[in-house]
Amino acid sequence: MKRLSKLAVSLIAAGMGLATTAAWSADTLQDVLKQRGLSQQDLLAAAKTYVPTGKRDEFVAFSSGGQSGQVIVYAIPSMRILKYIGVFTPEPWQGYGFDESSKKVLAQGRIDGKDITWGDTHHPAMSETNGEYDGQFVFINDKANPRIAVIDLRDFETKQIVVNPIFKSEHGGAFVTTNTEYVIEAAQYATPLENKKFYPLEEFNEKYRGGITYWKFDRKEGRIQPEKSFSLELPPYSQDLSDAGKGMSEGWSFTNSFCSERYVGGIEKGRPPYEAGCSAKDTDYMHVINWKKAAELVAAGKGKKINGHNVLMMETAIKEGILFLIPEPKSPHGVDVTPDGSKIIVAGKLDTHVSVYSFEKIQAAIKAGKFESKDPYGIPVIAMKDALHTQVSLGLGPLHTQYDSKTCIAYTSLYVDSQVAKWNYCEGKVLDKLSVHYNIGHLMTMEGDSTKPAGKYLVALNKLAIDRFVPIGPLHPQNHQLIDISGDKMQLLYDMPLPLGEPHYVIAIDAKKLKPAVRYKVGTDSRTDQAHPGATKAGEERTVKKGNKVEVFGTLIRSHITPETIEVEVGDEVTINLTNLERAQDETHGFTVSTFNVHASVEPGKTVAVKFKADKEGVYPYYCTEFCSALHLEMQGYLLVKPKGWKATKATLAAQNYTEADYKATVKKVADTQAIIDSVVAYITSVNYKDFPEVVAMVEDAFDQLGKTKDIKVKHEAAAAKKDWENANLWAEQVWQYQVKTADLGLRAKTFLEQNGAKKVK
Ligand code: CUK
Ligand code: CUA
């Protein structure tokens, strides 16, 4: 008897359902725990974060990318990273900064006529409706170069960058008002507000200023409107974080400061250093501002134009009674309004206390005109005792506070203690503490700075990772630790290193609130949301030459770039517009031309242009950079940069000499493939596929592909009739290419239908 091969045995065994798989998968959970040295507690934590293949996470987090100038999108509880969004920094994968439309977005962020291609991002903010996250836009600040960016969550792309007209740095942004009327941005380091104006440090108190900008947001347009925005002039106190009022405090905003000493250092002149001078006093100031009234005053013409921007000066703000100060201990950092808007919690970095201020008490003091003093600029100061609800000693180095879905429950980060404190701010009681690793900055609960926090999870954004991960050199990642807050005691679940920069703050939204598009309307410029002037329909591809300007109107569809050759003369200015004609989900094509530093990511429906000067003669391949199909490598072409006045000497391309037999074999392959397509089509039409929009799009796309074979069939048959086997065979091959794409889509649709419970129809 012949011996069965090993392969045959395993195939038969599999067919009979016998267990011949590798030993590891037969292990019991107990075995795995033992082998990997895991505890029951580890197992519980793993089960709480594990999201099996095919399943999705409950929350989506938008993390500041720190010095990367980007935004990192990750999922909770799995902590899987989903995307890096290019914001202030070029991002090659998305073509951000390498195609014409996105270059224009980055160019909006130019300052004094110069490109700034990085950003120090700190605080992302989600757009809100009635104080609840609405999943439409994310805003993020650049502390180093005072800018705010707008990301549209319909496609997770950066649409706008605005430069602050009067600041040189900003930190207290982005924070939004309850209906996203304004995006708040407070200055950090005081400077003269007039652009490029020099004043010596000796004139710091008189000429240097802080401030807050209220950027007007037009939700319909999805853009900030600089001309309708305004700022408020503030003393040079090093304003830090901000938060907008909500509920009873709606219409107000709160910003703290950490150097009301107005100290300017000068260690090189023998003076004590900044950190000594800025922390000398026991208190700094929280700024309390009626922004609604400020907006009215500006609208009534009470602002002053500085650098073409409306600024409400301190003098006016004091006179109109919309600006107040309250002492806060000591070198504070976070200022966080409670979900109901009744209290404002301030953590003093150098004090063990958090201070809970009462909005009602603040209002009562303002109404009664009860002030303990005025600051050097004449701003009324409300006594701390008249504004405080309570103070609670939480631990060393309290920084930031977030809220739970349970009333009165807050979580505060303790930087020096490396702990998270859970406490009750109504009663002023500490409830639980959990150690994190190491030196926590911000922390974040699900929708935890909105009017409706979702509880469940907390992420600790730890500044240091020290020994937590496999060493990778002196520069360590940051450590985002996921914590379960659903019970009375907090439980640490998971460590995620974030290696792109120092994220300061993260926000997380219920994933169900996000409704991003799958594709663009064909011919869309994704950065302007308008029709792209270079959009091209199938069959209308062309190259237009005017003088030394060459403009290509091309298309992309699996597995083909039209045109396949672009011929220019050295010195020509070349613009290549490309429209992705795909309708299938996730069929993105990339595009680059060798050595011209251009790249585009062209998602289905999008039109993108790349532009460069063909300033060197030679031959430059261009190709699709996304592995989009089995014939992705063949998605290619040549840019031929010819010397001036070049004349062709050879008229024809080399031939392959295909035979009649080659042609017949190809025709048979085409017939066989058609049989497969027919069987897939028979299945799809036998079920209720029309109830699945995803499938309808795929089926449309598939028939589009198949529809193209008709004309080509005529071509290969005509060539065969003339015994031109070369062209007959190649055109027949092209029919097969379209069939392969059709079959690919058809099978994808079939799999989708099978997995999503399609039902038989009569
Ligand atoms: S900041 Cu960095 S830890 Cu910019 Cu909100 Cu507090
Ligand atoms: Cu398109 Cu690869």
Q: Do 610 and 692 have their domain in common?
A: no
Nearest listed ligand to the Cα of residue 637? 2
For residue 3, pLDDT over 50 is answered with no
For residue 656, give both structure tokens: 């392959």
Q: For residue 628, how far is its CA from the centre of ligand 2 (angstroms)?
A: 4
For residue 97, give both structure tokens: 């900064």
Tell me what pLDDT residue 762 has: 67
d(CA 51, CA 482): 14
Tell me the mean pLDDT in the region 622-635.
92
d(CA 101, CA 577): 11
Percentage of the chain modeled with pLDDT above 70:
96
pLDDT band at 18, cuts 50/70/90?
very low
**Cα-Cα-Cα-Cα dihedral sign, residues 53, 56, 59, 61:** positive
Tell me the mean pLDDT in the region 176-205.
97
Q: For residue 430, how far is its CA from the centre of ligand 2 (angstroms)?
A: 57
Q: For residue 634, how far is its CA from the centre of ligand 2 (angstroms)?
A: 8
In the listed set 607, 642, 677, which residue is the last one of a domain according to the structure?
642
Tell me what pLDDT residue 15 has: 39
d(CA 559, CA 147): 41
Closest CA to 237 of 281, 174, 293: 281
Q: For residue 504, how far is its CA from the centre of ligand 1 (angstroms)?
A: 5
In the listed set 610, 642, 674, which residue is the last one of a domain according to the structure?
642
Domain count, the chain: 3
Tell me the mean pLDDT in the region 710-728.
94
Instruction: Output the domain CATH number for residue 169.
Output: 2.130.10.10
Q: Do 485 and 533 have their domain in common?
A: no
Ligand 1 pocket test, candidate residues 504, 506, 507, most atoms within 8 A of CB: 504
| One-letter amino acid of 345 | I
Residue 40 inside a domain? The answer is no
Residue 519 inside a domain? The answer is no
Q: Do 587 and 470 have their domain in common?
A: no
**Which residues does ligand 1 sit against, CB inside 6 Å?**
122-123, 171, 241, 333, 399-400, 441-442, 504-505
Residue 654 inside a domain? The answer is no
Ligand 1 pocket test, candidate residues 142, 346, 401, 442, most atoms within 8 A of CB: 442
Residue 217 inside a domain? The answer is yes
d(CA 461, CA 443): 6
Q: pLDDT tens digit string along 555-580?
A: 999 888 999 999 999 999 999 999 99
Nearest listed ligand to the Cα of residue 171? 1
Q: For residue 622, how far is its CA from the centre of ligand 1 (angstroms)?
A: 44
Residue 400 CA: nearest ligand 1 atom is 6
Q: Do 435 and 547 have their domain in common?
A: no
For residue 107, give both structure tokens: 């160019």
Q: Whose CA is nearest to atom 1 of ligand 2?
A: 589
Q: Do 585 and 563 have their domain in common?
A: yes
For residues 269 and 298, the answer to whether their CB atoms sit within 8 Å is no
Q: Whose CA is nearest to atom 1 of ligand 1?
A: 504
Q: Do 538 and 508 have their domain in common?
A: no
Closest CA to 182 of 235, 127, 132, 233: 127
**Which residues does ligand 2 sit against, CB inside 6 Å?**
589, 624, 626-628, 632, 635
pLDDT band at 649, cuts 50/70/90?
confident
Q: Do 409 and 483 have their domain in common?
A: yes
For residues 493 and 483, the answer to whether their CB atoms sit within 8 Å is yes
Q: Do 387 and 243 have their domain in common?
A: yes
Percentage of the chain modeled with pLDDT above 90:
82
Tell me what pLDDT residue 16 has: 40
Q: Do 453 and 562 have their domain in common?
A: no
Q: Whose CA is nearest to atom 4 of ligand 1?
A: 122
Residue 248 inside a domain? The answer is yes
Tell me what pLDDT residue 17 has: 41
Q: pLDDT tens digit string along 84-120?
A: 999 999 999 999 999 999 999 999 999 999 999 999 9
Backbone angles phi, psi at 315, to 5 degrees: -55, -45
Residue-averaged pLDDT of the chain: 93
**Residue whose entry in the numeric block shows the structure tokens 């289905």:** 604
Long-range contacts of 214-217, Cβ-Cβ distance < 8 Å, separation of 24 or more? 214/182, 214/183, 214/184, 214/291, 214/294, 214/295, 215/148, 215/162, 215/182, 215/183, 215/184, 215/185, 216/181, 216/182, 217/127, 217/137, 217/150, 217/176, 217/180, 217/181, 217/182, 217/183
Q: How far is CA 423 from CA 58, 82, 413, 493, 508, in A?
A: 25, 33, 11, 20, 21
Q: For residue 558, how far is its CA from the centre of ligand 2 (angstroms)?
A: 6
Residue 428 inside a domain? The answer is yes
pLDDT band at 724, cuts 50/70/90?
very high
Q: pLDDT tens digit string along 355-403?
A: 999 999 999 999 999 999 999 999 999 999 999 999 999 999 999 999 9
Q: pLDDT tens digit string along 733-750?
A: 999 988 888 888 888 889
**Cα-Cα-Cα-Cα dihedral sign, residues 363, 368, 369, 373:** negative
Residue 5 inside a domain? The answer is no
Tell me what pLDDT residue 25 has: 63
For residues 347 and 400, the answer to whether their CB atoms sit within 8 Å is yes
Nearest listed ligand to the Cα of residue 584? 2
Q: Do 489 and 554 have their domain in common?
A: no
User: Residue 54 in 3-state DSSP?
Assistant: coil
Residue 52 inside a domain? The answer is no
* Residues of the domain holding 692: 660-755
For residue 507, pLDDT over 50 is answered with yes
Tell me the mean pLDDT in the region 519-544.
95
Sheet holding 589-593, edge to edge: 565-569, 636-642, 618-623, 589-593, 600-602
User: Residue 646 in 3-state DSSP?
Assistant: coil
**Helix 660-686 × helix 725-755 angle, to 10°:** 20
Ligand 1 pocket test, candidate residues 399, 414, 440, 443, most atoms within 8 A of CB: 399
Nearest listed ligand to the Cα of residue 240? 1
Q: Do 459 and 536 have their domain in common?
A: no
For residue 552, pLDDT over 80 is answered with yes
Tell me what pLDDT residue 468 has: 94
Q: Do 485 and 619 have their domain in common?
A: no
In the listed set 615, 642, 669, which residue is the last one of a domain according to the structure?
642
Q: For residue 170, how far is its CA from the centre of ligand 1 (angstroms)?
A: 12
For residues 449 and 243, the answer to whether their CB atoms sit within 8 Å is yes
